[in-house]
Amino acid sequence: MHISDTTPAGRTGNAANLFDDTVRTHGDALAIEATGYRMTHEELQGATRAFAGGLHDLGVGPDDTLLLYLPNCPQYLVAALGAFRAGVVVSPANPQYKARELSYQLDDADVDAVVTHPVLRDHLAGGIEQSDTDPVVVTVDTGGEDAPTEVDGDAGDDVAFRSVRGDPVTVDREDGDVALLPYTSGTTGQPKGVRLTHRNFRAQLLTTLASYGEVAGDEVKSLLYLPLYHITGFTHTAMQPLVSGGSLYLRNPTDWDAGEAMTTIETEGITHFVGVTAMYVDMVNAESFGDHDLSSLVQAAEGGAKMSVAVQREFEDTAGIEMTEGYGLTETNGATHSQQRSTFGPRHGTIGQPLRMVDARIVDETGEEVPLGETGELLVRGAQVMAGYHDLPDATAEAFTDDGFFRTGDIARRDPDNYFEIVDRKKHMIVTAGYNVYPSEVEELLHEHDAVAEAAVVGVPDERRNEVPRAYVVVRPGVEAGVDVESEDLVQYCLDRVAEYKHPREVVFADELPRTASGKIQKFKLVDGDGVTVAESED
């Protein structure tokens, strides 16, 4: 078990107990608002307790696995917290998954029950047919005040979500019992199940609550457009405000609209917003940007990809707030570093300092710690770091050092003030004619160009140099690729500012870059151009 020996004082057992503590002081406060539907903390507590009892009545009990195959909706949170209470392991699935992807997770996680939505039911049926599982299927209701959705239909032969109600229950859990089993993205092979325990979950929430700063309790209002199946959306943007006694304004990623988001921030007094880079680009480029009062924000955090300096400054100047970044992985149950609450405040270009209870070091290939300012692999250790990979003892052993540090696979450096900077993914490093090129350095340079909205750099095979950098660029609105700026212009722009071996040999203009649902650029698709729509200039 690769878990820190330090447990937050007075916090043991089932992670759901944290939410019971909140209800004692914020029971009447708004917990969830979902496009008009509202639920208080006390109502959420009652719903999760009843759902836990309902799972037991269905024969789904401690250490069984519940797959959540749902878009963002209140039922997702009721089911997740209810499963925690029941001692059932929650395994989130991407709602964009089709049958083949589902069948793998159904089998690997040995799923006993599924909560899904009518619009996803056919994909689930195909996944079950292709798997060796026969789970209980619960379908969310599609009408009535207890189950707000926008789709008509009924549960059919499935169990209706509203009927999963039993005597209230909260099962005692040991620190090492698994609470959450998310799956990695699988960019380098089959996805791996990540065993996050009740202790991991408690530690992460109690540690990161400090990032709220002066705003706490029912003053916290978090706007969520990130997917709940992703660790950042679930643990930080959703669970964190609920544990604090605050309010979660729940939206679907597919419903993202920059104007509506800014209107919600203004009218509801949203204090916390975490978005991917593309969301901030959309807001800055919206016609109504500048007409909205965004001064209620005390935290505007972004991730997923590097942001154009021009976009960042424009948002900060208009909103009157410094944007912050952080760092974390599925294997760490979210953040290990944050600019929020760091000693000297946000320091752009860095991920901030390690959170309380997190040990971090940077090592070379021999495992020796490197001097300040030099690059190496980032290692982290803390109470929120996973217990290991599901049914993969060799991969788990390889992921940890002998003294319990998790190998992140990210190349980083640290400054004298203990601020960390991610240089790049270890696997993304380009080796060209014996020189190491970190794509993020070239991407950051391209983002400084006035014509560039987004950029991604990958290594492509080269007979002489092994591989060379290639850049994919999305231009800013109003800029015409091939007319206002040409590929050769950007190649020369880089050549004038970095060592010759680092500059991209080719710049390809694209309409958009392929991304995961959490906003991360899928670089493996760029190497051979798979899924990239090349932008064409007008004649």
Q: Which of 198-202, 418-422, 495-499, 516-520 has the lowest mean pLDDT?
A: 516-520
Could you identify the residue written with the tokens 């990210």? 410
Alpha-carbon torsion (286, 289, 294, 297), positive or negative: positive
The pTM assigned to this predicted structure is 0.81
**228 secondary structure, DSSP code:** T
State the amino acid at position 400 in one-letter form: F
- pLDDT tens digit sequence for 426-439: 777 787 866 678 78
**426 secondary structure, DSSP code:** G
Look at residue 539 in the predicted model and tell me its pLDDT.
Answer: 39
**400 secondary structure, DSSP code:** B
Helices (H), 372-521: 393-399, 439-447, 487-495
Segment 285-296 mean pLDDT: 94
- pLDDT tens digit sequence for 125-162: 999 999 999 999 999 976 544 444 434 445 567 999 99
- pLDDT tens digit sequence for 278-290: 889 899 989 999 9
How many angstroms separate the CA atoms of 326 and 379, rounded? Answer: 15
How many angstroms separate the CA atoms of 75 and 152, rounded? Answer: 16
Q: Pick from 173, 180, 146, 174: which is nearest to 160 by CA?
A: 146
Segment 385-410 mean pLDDT: 96
State the amino acid at position 134 in one-letter form: D
pLDDT at 7 over 90: no
pLDDT at 208 over 80: no
Is residue 447 within 8 A of residue 455, CB to CB? The reply is yes
Range picked from 162-171, 308-317, 498-507 for highest mean pLDDT: 162-171
The percent of residues above 90 in pLDDT, for the chain, comes to 65
**520 secondary structure, DSSP code:** -
Query: Which residues fall within 8 angstroms of residue 166, CB to CB, at 6 or more apart?
Result: 50, 52, 53, 54, 55, 56, 57
Question: Hey, what domains does the chain have and what are their CATH numbers?
Answer: 17-255 (3.40.50.980), 337-426 (2.30.38.10), 430-527 (3.30.300.30)
Sheet holding 326-329, edge to edge: 326-329, 334-338, 353-354
Look at residue 121 in the predicted model and tell me its pLDDT.
Answer: 94
**515 secondary structure, DSSP code:** B
Look at residue 82 in the predicted model and tell me its pLDDT.
Answer: 98
- pLDDT tens digit sequence for 443-455: 989 999 999 999 9
Radius of gyration (Cα) for the chain, nearest Å?
23
Look at residue 155 in the predicted model and tell me its pLDDT.
Answer: 55
Instruction: Provide the 3-class DSSP secondary structure of residue 39.
Output: strand
Is residue 38 within 8 A of residue 415, CB to CB? The reply is no
Residue 193 to residues 11, 188, 196, 391, 468: CA-CA distances in angstroms? Answer: 26, 14, 9, 8, 34
Instruction: Provide the 3-class DSSP secondary structure of residue 66.
Output: strand
How many angstroms separate the CA atoms of 172 and 226, rounded? Answer: 31
Cross-strand bridge partners of residue 328? 335
Residue 79 to residues 62, 84, 137, 141, 166: CA-CA distances in angstroms? Answer: 15, 9, 13, 13, 13
- pLDDT tens digit sequence for 400-423: 999 999 999 888 999 999 999 988
Look at residue 128 in the predicted model and tell me its pLDDT.
Answer: 97
Is residue 76 within 8 A of residue 250, CB to CB? The reply is no
Look at residue 123 in the predicted model and tell me its pLDDT.
Answer: 92
The percent of residues above 70 in pLDDT, for the chain, comes to 88
Look at residue 12 in the predicted model and tell me its pLDDT.
Answer: 65
How many angstroms separate the CA atoms of 477 and 452, rounded? Answer: 9
Q: Which of 73-87, 137-151, 469-483 has the lowest mean pLDDT?
A: 137-151
